[in-house]
Structure 1
Amino acid sequence: MKIIHTGDWHIGKIVNEYHMTKDQEYILNQLLQIIKEEKPQAVIIAGDIYDRSVAPVEAVELLDKVLGEIILDYQIPVLAIAGNHDSPERLNFGSGILKAKGLYIEGMLKRDTAKVTLNDEYGPVNFYLVPYADAAVVKDVYEDPNIKSQQDAMKAIIERIGATMDKSQRNVMITHGYVRGLEDPETSESERPLSIGGTDMVSYELFDDFCYTALGHLHSPQRAGKDNVRYSGSLLKYSFSEVKQKKGVNVVNIDGEGSVTIKTRELVPLRDMRIIKGELKKLMDPDIYNAGNREDYIKVILTDRGELLDPMRKLKSVYPNIMLLEFEDRGTRGNYDILLKTSRGKSKLELFKEFYKYINDAELAVESAEVLSRIIEEVERRGEDLEAN
């Protein structure tokens, strides 16, 4: 059976005040093309379908369009669960009716996990849909006071599944959360924390009885301990911590014995997310800005030492989609506490020279020092005149 595993669509997301819906429509059209080419027997969305519990109208319309094309036009069933960004109740609404059309969506955790069985030429494949629920919710649903962490919660869920699961058949888990492999997972700034102190981590070994585990939540495509326990990653980059990640979807083939082969189909965004660094004049050079897509979402780090007049306006004239502008931190080149302790007995000009060097890691120019000296003298003279009056 061929499956396309996706997750973390985050439809309706806003990144640094930029609405991403058009970019999401562009990338979802690519996904539709991949589905058309691959002709899978199922499409998985492993949580965080929307970016927030109350999705904007355009996000709902986009999801309706995409799911309608997959299910009605391509006749391919979709298996989806709620992630930690979704509203379980809203996703659950109408789920019973939608099953008849091929949309299997689980928003709220149930004591008995939803199982969807699809068939191929080798027989049945059982999909277990486990939406995101924190340990406290699982504790209430299972009426088990011993559930205190996500590890406890997932263990309880899988043990209940295992009590009735036919292990001689091919079984697939779909869930959402942090699964720890042999190494710590690669995380991104755009992922909402699930808990504090590591109680959100789940061991990959809990999924040993499944021939494939389709995970959502982490935005970087990666394996979690084993090749058949995987995150597909998000469809788009949603933070500058993700600039080096290549986004895509997992195309999973499960043979008659339950062995799995996986390939990745890469997704190319309408606008990439990049970080550029340098002096303002250099970044405004046509040879520099024409080397990449000027429409990309950009974080600029300026390395100029002096003051700049309205750098954002100038940069936006050539990089219209700048999301962030930062200046390189030069405040770590000295110990400011020591500077303060040695300030007694020094003139205002001497103090400013030391402060300038601390901030800019360079000496104040002679011409600038002369101008500053005249300004200080003028201010002090005016101060004396005011006191005299």
Structure 2
Amino acid sequence: MKLMHTSDWHIGKIVNQRHMTFDQEYILDNLVKMLEAERPDVLVVAGDIYDRGIPPVEAVELLDKVLSNILLQLGIPIIMIAGNHDSPDRLGFGSRLLRDKGLYISGPLLKDIQKVVLCDEYGPVNFYLIPYASPAVVREVFACNEVCDHDTAMKEMIRCIREKWNAEERNVVVTHGFIRGMEELEQSESEKPLSITLAVGGTDFVDVKHFDGFAYTALGHLHGPQQAGSPRVRYAGSLLKYSFSETKQEKSVTLAQIGKDGELSIECKSLLPLRNMRRIKGTLKGLLDPEVYANTNIEDYLHVTLTDEGELIEPMSKLRAVYPNILSLDIEIKERQVTESKTSAGQGYKHKSKLDLFSDFYTDMTGQMFTEEKALIVAKTISTLETDEREL
């Protein structure tokens, strides 16, 4: 069976006050074209369909358009679960009616975990849909007092699946969470923590060992495509970059082929966005030089770091005349190389000239050499001020 695994669409996302819906429509249209070319047996979307529980109207309309194209025009079934950004009840509304059209949505968590059976030439493939739910919800739904965190919650849900499954068949889990083995996972700033403990650096992870024996586990939540402790357990990642911590990530969808006896092959297929998200760095004059930006996409979403010394007048407006989609800007603060203490540097200040005092101050504050050119400018300014003072 050939499945296309994606996640974290975050339709309706706003990044630095910029609505991403147009970019999302572009990338989702390309996803539909890829589906048409690859013709997988099923599309799996592992949570965070929307960016917030109550999505804007344009986000709902975009999802309706995309799902209609996939289901009605291409005839490809869709399996979809709620993530931690979604409202389970809203996402799952009408799901039983939509099953006949090939759209399988798991919104609110149910004790009888939804099982979707799809068949290929080798027989059935069983998809177990586990939407995101907090440990408190899992504890209540499964009436299990042993559930105290995300790991014990997943352990209980997988235990219930194993009570009823046929281990000889090909079984797939679709879920949304923080699953890991021994290795570190690549994270990004746009991923909302699943709990307070994660937000303050806790270890509220789910052990990848819970998924032993499954042919494939399709994960959502982390935005970088990567495996999670096992080649059979993967994050597909988001389709777009949603923070500047993701600039080095290569966004893709995952094509997973599950053979007759559960043998697995993985291929990552890239989708090119309308606008990339990049960091650029340099002086204001340098970044405005046509030779610098001539061979780049000036429409990209940018974080700009300026390396100029001294005051700049309206740098953002000047930069946006060339780069219209700058989302953030900062000024590089060079590390100061202090070779002596301020106390020793200040010794003998009563016997120093104003120019020498300013030179010491400048070097101490910036860590830069006080050049002869700068000394001439400051000396002229001091002379002018002293002349004006005498005339008063």
TM-score category by the smaller chain? over 0.9
Residues 42 and 339 of structure 1, relative CA distance in 2, 3 Å threshold: same
Partner residue in 1 for 2:273: 269
- The equivalent residue for 1:151 is 151
The aligned counterpart of 1:367 is: 376
- Structure 2 unmatched ranges of 5 or more: none
Q: Could you tell me how far apart the structure 2 residues matched to 1:161 and 1:319 are?
A: 52
What residue identity is the alignment partner of 1:312?
M
Q: CA deviation at 1:89?
A: 1.4
Give RMSD over aligned pairs.
2.3
Q: CA offset at residue 373 of structure 1?
A: 3.1
Partners of 1:223 and 1:142 in 2: how far apart? 29
Tell me what 1:356 maps to: 362
Per-residue deviation, 1:261: 0.8
Contact conserved, 1:77 with 1:102, CA < 8 A, in 2?
Answer: yes
CA contact (8 A) 1:189 1:239 kept: yes
**Matched residues in 2 for 1:89 and 1:190: separation?**
24
* Closer, same or farther: CA 355–59 of 1 in aligned 2, 3 Å: farther
Residues 187, 224 of structure 2: 8 Å contact kept: yes
CA contact (8 A) 1:89 1:107 kept: yes
Compared with structure 1, are the counterparts of its residues 362 and 70 closer, same or farther at alpha carbon in structure 2 (3 Å cutoff)? same
State the distance in 2 between where 1:44 and 1:326 align. Answer: 39
- Give the drift of 1:223: 0.6
C-alpha distance after superposition, 1:200-229 (max 9, x if no partner) = 311111101210000000000001111111
Q: Is the 8 A contact 1:46 1:176 kept in 2?
A: yes
Matched, 1:253 2:257: yes
By how many angstroms is 1:247 displaced?
0.7
Q: Which amino acid aligns with 2:47?
A: G
Provide the residue aligned with 1:319 in structure 2. Answer: 323
| 2:336 counterpart of 1:333 | yes
Structure 2: which amino acid aligns with 1:4?
M
Please tell me whether the aligned partners of residues 4 and 255 of structure 2 are also in contact (alpha carbons under 8 angstroms).
Answer: yes
What amino acid is the match of 2:73? D
Compared CA separation, residues 377 and 4, structure 1 to 2 (3 A): same
Do structure 1's residue 238 and structure 2's residue 247 form an aligned pair? Answer: no
Cα distance change of structure 1 residues 281 and 121 upon mapping to structure 2, 3 Å threshold: same
What residue identity is the alignment partner of 1:356?
Answer: Y
Identity %: 52
Contact 1:179-1:185 within 8 A present in 2 as well: no
CA distance in 1, matches of 2:136, 2:359: 58
* Paired residue secondary structure (2:27): helix
Which residue number in structure 2 is paired with residue 30 of structure 1?
Answer: 30
Partner of 2:218: 214
SS of 1:44's equivalent? strand
Question: Residue deviations 1:96-137, cap 9 Å, x none?
Answer: 111121111111111121111111111111100001112122
Q: Is the aligned partner of 1:183 residue 2:183?
A: yes
Structure 1 residue 41: deviation in Å?
Answer: 1.1
SS state of the match for residue 163, structure 1? helix
Aligned-pair distance for 1:291? 1.8
Distance 2:389 2:345 in 1: 23
**Alignment partner of 1:87 is 2:90:** no
Judge conservation of contact 2:345–2:360 (CA < 8 Å) in 1: no
Assess if the C-alpha contact under 8 Å between 1:150 and 1:199 holds in 2.
no
Q: Distance in 1 between matches of 2:8 and 2:344?
A: 52
Q: In structure 2, what residue type is equivalent to 1:321?
A: N
Q: How many residues align?
A: 382
CA contact (8 A) 1:149 1:199 kept: no
| CA offset digits 1:343-381 (Å, max 9, x no partner) | 588478766544432343224421332255357758988
Note the 1:49-68 alignment, pairs <5 A: 49-68=49-68
Matched residue of 1:166: which SS?
Answer: coil
CA distance in 1 between counterparts of 2:384 and 2:164 reads 84
Between the aligned partners of 2:165 and 2:343, the Cα distance in structure 1 is: 70
- What is the SS of the residue equivalent to 1:54? coil
Contact preservation (8 Å) 2:355, 2:379: no
Asked if the contact 1:12/1:59 (under 8 Å) is kept, the reply is: yes
| Residue matched to 2:125 | 125
Tell me, yes or no, if the aligned pair for 2:4 and 2:42 is still in contact at 8 Å: yes
Question: For 2:32, what is the secondary structure of its paired residue?
Answer: helix
Shift of 1:252: 1.0
Look up the SS of the partner of 2:117 in the other structure.
strand
Q: Deviations over 1:290-337 (max 9, x none)?
A: 12111111111111112211111111111111111111122x315699
Contact persistence 1:150–1:200 (CA under 8 A): yes
Measured at CA, do residues 108 and 209 of structure 1 come closer, stay the same or move farther in structure 2, by a change above 3 Å? same
Paired AA for residue 294 in structure 1 = I
Deviations 1:260-311 (A, max 9, x none): 1111111100001111111111111111111211111111111111221111
CA contact (8 A) 2:180 2:205 kept: yes
2: distance between equivalents of 1:144 and 1:379?
Answer: 83
AA aligned to 2:362 is Y
Amino acid at match of 1:181: G
**Does the residue aligned with 1:225 lie in a helix, a strand or coil?**
strand
Q: Is the 8 A contact 2:95 2:105 kept in 1?
A: yes
